[in-house]
């Protein structure tokens, strides 16, 4: 299959860096200006031509399902008033997509969350978006750039960006050989390495295209760094058997899983909205 039709959003994490805000509100529902992080991610998927949205949720995350649904009472209340326009964008998202959900019962890491999504994805290549990495582009969105690449290379692709060497311990870090200006054939991948052990300063951010054989690999992947099942460990295995590419994307990325990144994103989008 040559086209990416489905996008998986792992959204079951605890979001401990945002406590107490995330005690009862999912991290993915925190708004940058008036829009929740997850809605930005779904809009990026729509821009890339993807309309089948699969979300891995967990306990205390029901606000996500309610957000991508109609609120009859609210809509009835504001019908015919100027306030209707506030809901226009989310209504458009709901009309364009189908949403399906599954729950991760135990939060055993991103790799495990992706494996939990298998039931919603099946045997086809798919995109993964971590909504707390908020991306913005003047031209094509990051997912659009990656789906175009997938059509050419037909293999798993991770988005990477250069980070300061002292920050490698926050990311999965790749190494490999450049096959195009912005494209690396991956031959090594380490989760959150100490700067002194990092194989490069190219860090994986929250956008992936994965081929479905990743599910079988994830099933066999043992807990790694932090006792969690890591997608980087599974991708390294996939890289050994075939091909995994790392793509230096064009555009801005904000780490909205951290308070600093969230504030930076808020300031950026506020300025842009004026």
Residues lying near ligand UTP in the complex (CB under 6 A) are found at 10-17, 27, 56, 104, 107-110, 112-113, 130, 132, 257
Nearest to residue 146, comparing CAs of 9, 42, 247, 8?
247
For the chain, the first-to-last Cα distance in angstroms comes to 42
Q: How far is the CB of 55 from ligand UTP (least distance, A)?
A: 9
Q: How far is the CB of 28 from ligand UTP (least distance, A)?
A: 6
Task: Name the closest residue to ligand UTP (Cβ).
Answer: 13
Nearer to ligand UTP, 132 or 161 (CB): 132
Strand 202-210 to 126-129 pairing: antiparallel
State how far Cα 190 lies from the chain centre: 19
Full DSSP string of 31-67: EETTEEHHHHHHHHHHHTT--EEEEEE-TT-HHHHHH
Q: What residues contact 95, with CB distance under 8 A and at least 6 apart?
A: none
Q: How far is the CB of 109 from ligand UTP (least distance, A)?
A: 5
Nearer to ligand UTP, 45 or 183 (CB): 45
Nearer to ligand UTP, 146 or 183 (CB): 146
H-only helix segments in 28-174? 37-47, 62-67, 72-78, 88-96, 110-116, 118-121, 142-153
Q: How far is the CB of 142 from ligand UTP (least distance, A)?
A: 16
Q: How far is the CB of 134 from ligand UTP (least distance, A)?
A: 12
The Cα-based distances of 103 to 24, 44, 68 in angstroms read 16, 23, 16
The C-alpha atoms of residue 9 and residue 240 are separated, in whole angstroms, by 26
Q: How far is the CB of 1 from ligand UTP (least distance, A)?
A: 25
Nearer to ligand UTP, 41 or 141 (CB): 41
The C-alpha atoms of residue 199 and residue 176 are separated, in whole angstroms, by 9
The C-alpha atoms of residue 87 and residue 105 are separated, in whole angstroms, by 32
Nearer to ligand UTP, 172 or 176 (CB): 172
Nearer to ligand UTP, 41 or 176 (CB): 41
Which one-letter DSSP state was computed for residue 223? P
Nearer to ligand UTP, 121 or 183 (CB): 121
Q: How far is the CB of 17 from ligand UTP (least distance, A)?
A: 3
């Amino acid at each position: 299959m040559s086209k990416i039709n489905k996008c998986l959003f792992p959204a079951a994490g605890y979001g401990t860096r945002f406590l107490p805000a995330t005690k009862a509100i999912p991290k993915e529902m925190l708004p940058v200006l008036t829009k929740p992080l997850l809605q930005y991610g779904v809009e990026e998927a729509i821009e890339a031509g993807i309309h089948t949205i699969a979300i891995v949720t967990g306990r205390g995350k029901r606000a996500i399902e309610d957000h991508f649904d109609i609120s009859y009472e609210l809509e009835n209340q504001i019908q015919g008033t100027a306030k209707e326009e506030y809901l226009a964008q989310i209504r458009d998202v709901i009309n364009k997509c189908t949403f399906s959900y599954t729950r991760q019962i135990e939060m055993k890491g991103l790799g495990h969350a992706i494996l939990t999504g298998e039931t919603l994805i099946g045997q086809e290549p798919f995109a993964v978006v971590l909504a707390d990495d908020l991306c913005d582009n003047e031209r094509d969105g990051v997912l659009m750039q990656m789906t175009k690449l997938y059509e050419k290379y037909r293999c798993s692709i991770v988005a990477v960006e250069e980070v300061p060497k002292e920050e490698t311990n926050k990311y999965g870090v790749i190494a490999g050989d450049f096959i195009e200006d912005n494209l690396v054939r991956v031959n090594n991948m380490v989760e959150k390495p100490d700067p002194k052990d990092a194989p490069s300063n190219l860090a994986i951010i929250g956008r992936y295209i994965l081929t479905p054989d990743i599910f079988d690999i994830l099933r066999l992947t043992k807990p790694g760094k932090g006792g969690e099942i890591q997608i980087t460990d599974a991708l390294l295995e996939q890289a050994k058997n075939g091909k995994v590419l790392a793509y230096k994307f064009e555009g801005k990325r904000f780490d909205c899983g951290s308070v600093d990144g969230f504030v930076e994103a808020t300031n950026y989008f506020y300025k842009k909205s004026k």
